[in-house]
Amino acid sequence: MEVLLCVSDLATYFETEGKTVCAVDGVSFEIKRGETLGLVGESGCGKSVTALSIIRLIPTPPGKIVRGSVLFDGEDLLKLKESAMRRIRGNKISIIFQEPMTSLNPVFRVGHQIAEAAVLHRKISWNEAKELTVEMLARVEIPAPKERYYDYPHQMSGGMKQRAIIAMALICNPSLLIADEPTTALDVTIGAQILRLLRDLQSQLKMAILFITHDLGVVAEMAHRVAVMYAGKIVETADTLTLFERPLHPYTRALLASVPHLGKKTKRLFVIPGEVPDPLRFPSGCRFHPRCSSASDICRSRLPELRQYEDSHYVSCFNISSEAKEIPR
């Protein structure tokens, strides 16, 4: 399959009170057409900043993309003028955020806000855009879409708003959808509905999804491939089945062991000692070494690179067990 998005060595820093926060520090990954890449990690690891950097929504100052490239359809988004970028955002690349309550403007009708995207990008009349919006609202399974077009955001429930936001994101038929924790703020049963909807829409519209979440269960259900982030870096990428069955990085292994599995009750949960490091003071060497049980001297002094182990399995660790053979380049 053809590569749609290729991020290489992306780094975004924030300047605060004379200190530099390396929120994203040399991140590389690819997304193929129609594929879902799950980006997992704990809060503060740089997942959302990565997403915002791709569509250049980093508030500058204090933030700045200091290096790297983001090739989308062969074009480097980081080199585009703002006006050209604006034609891509909401059109070829759309984003949906975690908080459905704050993503809609409370003083405009929901239908109007969705139609606006189509009017701006597709150069169609408001009447045509309205028809398209009603069709889109029906597609995201909002009952009585014609009437709902005239609703204000406060008249909708959380799940309903998230559906409307999905409709807005998809109205221009984007080739890449960035979903930043789209179900985290929702209840379990409503979250399950939204995940189902996204999966169905993806197979209909053949779009690629960058799915950002902290929930390993959601990744397992949604993603074709997974990238695990820790302290501003990707520590492991693999296809979903491999990552869950044969994780190689100690952080991925520990993370998987520390969540309670439904129907597999254990006496005690596995615990990763310590805390997520402060981005102002990242540890030297491998950023996971203070919490890692197999850390050695080299881990404390040198930063491991992402190296290939199997076909599409990349890990950045010095101590991969001997049975996993590194593929020489």
Partner 1 sequence: MNFLEEKDALCKKEEPLLEVVNLKTYFPIKSGVFRRTVGYLKAVDDVSFTIAAGETLGLVGESGCGKSTTARSILRLVEPTDGKIFFKGTDVRALKESQLRSLRRHMQIIFQDPYSSLNPRMTVASIVGEGLRIHEKLPWREIRERIAFLLDEVGLSPHHINRYPHEFSGGQRQRIGIARALALNPSLLICDEPVSALDVSIRAQIINLLTDLKERHNFAYLFISHDLSVVEHIADRVAVMYLGKIVEIASSTELYNHPSHPYTVSLLDAIPLPDPKRRRNVTPLKGQVPTLAHLPSGCRFHPRCERKRPICETHQPPLTEVSPSHSVLCHSPIS
Q: Which residues contact 203 (CB under 8 A, 6 or more apart)?
A: none
Of 81 and 268, the one with the shorter C-beta distance to partner 1 is: 268
What's the min distance (Å) between Cβ of 138 and partner 1? Answer: 16
What's the min distance (Å) between Cβ of 302 and partner 1? Answer: 24
x/- binding map, residues 51-90, to partner 1, per CB under 8 A? ----------------------------------------
Of 93 and 198, the one with the shorter C-beta distance to partner 1 is: 198
Of 189 and 321, the one with the shorter C-beta distance to partner 1 is: 189
Of 30 and 244, the one with the shorter C-beta distance to partner 1 is: 244
What's the min distance (Å) between Cβ of 188 and partner 1? Answer: 5
Of 130 and 233, the one with the shorter C-beta distance to partner 1 is: 233
Q: Which residues contact 173 (CB under 8 A, 6 or more apart)?
A: 205, 207
What's the min distance (Å) between Cβ of 157 and partner 1? Answer: 5
Of 30 and 42, the one with the shorter C-beta distance to partner 1 is: 42
Q: What are phi and psi of 63, to 5 degrees?
A: -85, 155
Question: Interface residues for partner 1 in 208-237 (CB under 8 A)?
Answer: 214-222
What's the min distance (Å) between Cβ of 102 and partner 1? Answer: 17
x/- binding map, residues 17-56, to partner 1, per CB under 8 A? -------------------------xx-------------
What's the min distance (Å) between Cβ of 93 and partner 1? Answer: 25
x/- binding map, residues 251-280, to partner 1, per CB under 8 A? ---xxx-xxxxxx-xx-xxxxx--xx----
Q: Which residues bind partner 1 (CB under 8 A)?
A: 42-43, 157, 159-160, 187-193, 195-196, 214-222, 240-241, 244-245, 254-256, 258-263, 265-266, 268-272, 275-276
